[in-house]
Amino acid sequence: MTTSKRIESVDILRGITIIAMILVNTPGDWGHVYAPLLHAEWHGLTPTDLIFPFFLYIVGISIYYAYKSKPNTLSTYKKVGIRSLKLIGLGLFLNVFTPLFPFIVDLETWRIPGVLQRIGIVFFIVSLLYLNCNWKQLGAIIATILIGYYVFLGFVPLPKELGTPTFDRAPNNWANYLDLKILGKHMWQHDYDPEGLLSTIPSIASSLIGVLIGKILDRFSPLKTLVFTAFGLLISGYAFSLIFPINKAIWSSSFVLVTSGWGTLILAVIYYLRDVKQYQFGSIFKYIGTNAITVYFLSSFISKCMYTIKVNENHNIHSWLYNSLFFPENMGPKLASLVYALVVVFVYGYLGYLMYQKKIFIKV
């Protein structure tokens, strides 16, 4: 975000989101994880399911501040395009990178979608919409996406052999069907991808809502509006879930509304405490939030190295460290797994702190 008076609550929420990403992505043992730190199996919502939509929501807020004074010119579009390509490129790099054989890629099965790829695509589309649409048009686009996605997934006929469309994890779910048809083996799992093609469309709505929240934050007295907006999103989202279940895997319309509602409510609380009351809390999250993509990329890159590089016949670096230092047989496997993740979080939190203190801000 670039503004004369930086809204610190946004950086804090961004930092909390990145820390939460690292926490849930780096347990000591994937077989022993507390339920709140796992995604819902299909329909439903856990704290972990809030993390990625929060980040896309914050991307929308950042777009508002970054481009509210930018001219609608070819130069601006070029900057948007370059940044989007960088994000997509970093995501593809993480998918193909192997530390021992960096130039050998299984082109038949390497995963194409991913978190950074989705961020790059969403950033590009939302930035262009923001630069070319007024507020009423942006609101209409959000409504069209959410309603249109529900109608498409629930009522547009599939090929006859697949039967009636469903929202379940099945071949006759449009999101799963298109991913399998277009991506084939280049998916996260054999039957669906949580960052798949069709589900990217409603994720654009998550970020567009963030753009509108940025507009609210830019007002003289935004707190009440934030709270009312949060409850409006939550009520409409939970009501929508009665016909279109909350589901991260297909990024359902109710999921967009509910996660945006929780994001707005949490942001309102942080905004009140930090920006209104000026309480000096959460600075460590602000430090991380100012280098969010860098910290996330490094955590993913290093984690992949630790899972890939062997220490001996029985252990890679990750499993060797976990079993040697965290003693799951004494502490209990779930607690040991959580403690390992918290230590990883501390390491990257300290890295974010050092980068901030040395004024190192890497813009992707």
**What are the pLDDT digits (tens) for 88-115?**
999 999 988 877 655 566 777 889 999 9
Residue 1 clears pLDDT 50, i.e. is over it: no
Q: pLDDT at position 101, please?
A: 58
Distance in Å from the first CA to the final CA of the chain:
13
Task: Of 20-34, 207-221, 227-241, give the lowest mean pLDDT range.
Answer: 207-221
The encoded tokens of residue 356 equal: 């901030």
pLDDT at residue 122, rounded to an integer: 98
pLDDT grade for 70, boundaries at 50, 70 and 90: confident
pLDDT score of 79: 94
Residues sharing a CB contact under 8 Å with residue 183, sequence separation 6 or more, in sequence order: 112, 113, 193, 196, 197
Question: What is the spatial distance between Cα 309 and Cα 132, in angstroms, rounded to a whole number?
Answer: 48
pLDDT of residue 323: 87
The confidence score (pLDDT) of residue 174 equals 94
DSSP 241: T
Q: What share of the chain is helix, strand, coil (3-state, %, to 5)?
A: 65, 0, 35
Residues 150-179 have a mean pLDDT of 92
For residue 203, the model assigns a pLDDT of 98
Split at pLDDT 50, 70, 90, the class of 2 is very low
Residue labelled with tokens 């130069």:
75
Burial 39-77 (b: 16+ CB within 10 A, else e): bbebbebbebbbbbbbbbbbbbbbbbbbbeeeeeeeebe
Please determine, for residue 211, whether its predicted confidence score (pLDDT) is greater than 90.
yes
pTM above 0.85, yes or no: yes
Mean of the per-residue pLDDT values of the chain:
91
**Bridge partners for 247 per DSSP:** 43
The answer to whether the Cα torsion of 133, 137, 142, 144 is positive or negative is negative
Residue 133, class by beta-carbon neighbours within 10 Å (0-12 exposed, 13-18 middle, 19+ buried)?
A: middle
Q: Where are the domains of the chain?
A: 7-38+283-364, 40-278
